[in-house]
Structure 1
Amino acid sequence: MPPLVPPQTLMLMLLGDFVLDRGVCVFSGSAIDVLGRLGVSSHATRSTLSRMVNRGLLRRQRHGRKMYFGLTDRTAAILHDGRSRIWETGAVNDDWDGTWTLLCFSLPESWQRQRHDLRSQLAWSGFGPLQGGLWIAPGTRPAQSIVTGLGLSAHARVFHARAAELTDIGAMVRDAYDLDALALRYQGFLGRWEGTSPFRDPLAARLSLIAEWLDAIRRDPRLPVEHLPADWPAARAQGLFRDLEAASLSPAHSLAATFLDLQPDEVRPTRPSTPQ
C-alpha cells in the first residue's frame, strides 16, 4: 500500500531516525533505496533531495564519487520539534491546570495578509477562535512571541486566565475547535494501522507509521480530556502508535544496517532552543 504522506515528509522521517544527533550524513543512493520501499520513484526522491537543498533543509557533502546529504540547523530543529511533540507533549492532555491563554487582536480591514499569517500561526500553536478577534488555547502558549514575530504587538493583547464556575468549558471548546475534524485524524490513523500492517517491509512500515502519527498530532491543540467527548480517540490511537513503534524499532534498524550508507558529517548542526 502506498504511503499517505509526501516524499519530503518521508525523507524527514528517515533523517530523524538515522541521522539526527548521530553526526552523520546519508548517501543519496540509500535515500533512494529507502523511499523506494515506500513506493516513491528514484526520480521523485532525487527531486525531493534537490528541493530540500534549495530550501536550506539539507547540505550536500561529497565523499569520493558519492554525494551525501547532511542536516542543516533548521532541519535539526524541525526534527527535534517533531520528536518533542511525539514523546514529550503527546496527544493526551490529562494534566491540565485549568489555565487558558487568551489573545485578542484588532487589525485594519486592509491587512488581509497579516490577518491570515496571524490566524495560521495561532492555529498551529493550538489556538481556536472563540469569537471575533478573541482566540483561546489551554495552558500557556507562546502567543506574545507569535504577535511579536509578525510585528503585530501594537494590535494584540495576551492574557492568562481561568474560567469562572458558571462558564461551560465544554461548550466553549466546541465553539472554538472543530472537534469532528480533530477526531477524524485519529480515527483515520486507527483505521489504517489497527490489525494487519499496511506494509510488509519493516523499514517502510516504521517510517510511514511515524510520519502518519506526526501528521495526526501536529495540529492537535491538546484540549483537556475532561472537556472532550467520552469516546475521544486520541488515547487509543496514541497507545497503538507507541506499541507499533516499539515493535518496529529492532527489525527496521536491523534491516537499515544492511544497506544504509552513512558517513561522518563534516559540519554538524547545532541544536537551537526553538525551531525556525
Structure 2
Amino acid sequence: MTSFDQAGSAPRPQSLMLSFFGIHALGRDVALSASSLIDVFGQAGITEDAVRSTLTRMVKRGLLERHRRGRKTYFGLTPRAADVLQDGHDRIWHTGAVNRDWDGTWTLVGFSLPEAWRSERHDLRSRLVWNGFGPLQNGLWVAPGTVDVPEVVSGLGLDSYLRVFQGATAVAPTDARTVLHTAFDVESIAKGYEAFLTRWSNGAQGPGGPGAQVPSEAGALVRQLLLHTDWLEQVRQDPHLPAEHLPADWPAARAEERFHELARRYEESARQEAARALDAITVTAAGE
C-alpha cells in the first residue's frame, strides 16, 4: 500500500525514507529514533525489517548518520543527503514543474569514457539525468537552458573526459522541438503527470485508480509522505522542458496545482501527527 510511479510500481522504501527526512528533518539539525520511524512507516505498509534494512543501507551509503542515546538509536541526515534533499525541495517549491522562462539556449556535454569504466559512466549519466540532460546522440547530452556543469559533475574526477558548450542555438535542419523529442521521452513524461493526476483524483482519500489505494485508516502524516514521494518522482523524471515547445495541453501545470492543493490540505494535520509520533533529538551538523 504505497503510492505508485507512472509504470505502476511502488516507490522503494529508501525513496520514502528520504522524502520523510526531507519533510521532517531537513534544516532542523535533528535525528529521529528508529522506533518512531518503524511505527510511522508501519502505517504506510512498510515492515519493521524493511525499515531497519533501509536505515542500515542509507548509513552505509553516507546518507544517514547514527546517533546513540542510551539504548536508543537515532538517525540524522548527512551533509550529502541534506544537499540532495535541499535540491529536491527547491525544485518542488521554487523552480516549479513548468518552464515558461526558457531563453532559447542549450547546454551540451560530450564525453567519451574508457569502456571498462561502467560505474563511472553510470554515475555521470545519473548526474546528468537528475540535472535535466538527455542523450541527443552517442556521447552527446543536452539540457535546455544554462546548467552549471562543473557543479553537476563535482567529485566524479571526470573533468578531462568532458567537453562542455553553452549558448548553442538549434539551426536548420535542426529545431528545438526535434531536439526535445530526440533527447527526451516527452510522451512518457506527460504520461507520468497524467498518472499522478489519476492516482490523486480522490482528494484527501489519497491515490485513486486501479491498485493504488491508501487504507482508510491512514492519517495525514502517511498521506503527506506518499504525496511528496510521488510528486518528487515526477519532478525527477521531468528535465524541465520549455513549455513553448510542448503540447498546449501539457499536464504538468494541472498536476502541480493538484500537488500544492493536497500538500496544503495535509500539512497542519501531518505536522500535529509528527509531533506526537516522532521521537527526535537535536544534533550538530558534524554529528554527536
**What is the rounded CA distance, in whole Å, between the counterparts of 1:25 and 1:153 in structure 2?**
36
Aligned partner (choices 186, 191, 205) of residue 198 of structure 2: 191
- Aligned partner of 1:126 in structure 2 is 132
- One-letter code aligned to 1:77: D
1:219 aligns with 2:237: yes
Spell out, residue by residue over 1:51-93, the C-alpha distance to the aligned partner (whole angstroms, 9 max, x if none): 2222222222222332222222122122212111211222110
Q: Which residue of 1 aligns with 2:52?
A: 46
Aligned partner of 1:32 in structure 2 is 38
- Listed one character per residue, the Cα deviations across residues 190-217 of structure 1 (whole Å, up to 9, x for unaligned) are 1111124233421110001001110111
Question: Taking structure 2 as the reference length, what is the TM-score of the superposition?
Answer: 0.84
Unaligned 5+ residue runs, structure 2?
4-9, 208-213
C-alpha displacement at 1:145, in angstroms? 4.7
- Deviation of 1:169 after TM superposition, in Å, equals 1.4
TM-score w.r.t. the length of structure 1 is 0.87
Label 1:160 to 1:15 Cα distance change in 2 as closer, same or farther (>3 A). Answer: same
Match of 1:8 in 2: 14
- Which one-letter code corresponds to 1:185 in the other structure? G
- Cα pair 1:129 1:136 within 8 Å, conserved: yes
**What letter is aligned with 2:191?**
L
Higher mean C-alpha deviation, range 244-253 or range 130-139:
130-139
1:101 maps onto 2:118 in alignment? no
Shift of 1:162: 4.2
Partner of 1:273: none
Alignment of 1:129-148 (within 5 A): 129-146=135-152
- In structure 1, give the amino acid aligned to 2:139: G
One of 240, 243, 253 as aligned partner of 2:258: 240
1:85/1:218 contact within 8 Å kept: no
Q: Using a 3 Å threshold, how does the CA distance of structure 1 residues 170 and 59 change in structure 2: closer, same or farther? A: same
| Distance across 2 between alignment mates of 1:85 and 1:47 | 29
1:249 to partner: Cα distance: 0.3
Give the Cα–Cα distance (whole angstroms) in 1 for the partners of residues 242 and 91 of structure 2.
Answer: 16
Percent identity of paired positions between Structure 1 and Structure 2:
50
State the Cα RMSD in Å: 2.3
Range that drifts further, 225-234 or 158-167: 158-167
Q: For 1:156, which of 158, 162, 171 is the aligned residue?
A: 162
For 1:173, which of 145, 156, 180 is the aligned residue? 180
User: Which amino acid is 2:264 matched to?
Assistant: A
1:110 deviates by 6.2
Q: SS at 2:241's partner residue?
A: coil
TM-aligned CA distance change 1:111 to 1:225, over 3 Å: same
Contact 1:129 / 1:135 at 8 angstroms: preserved in 2? yes
Residue 120 (structure 1) shift = 3.5
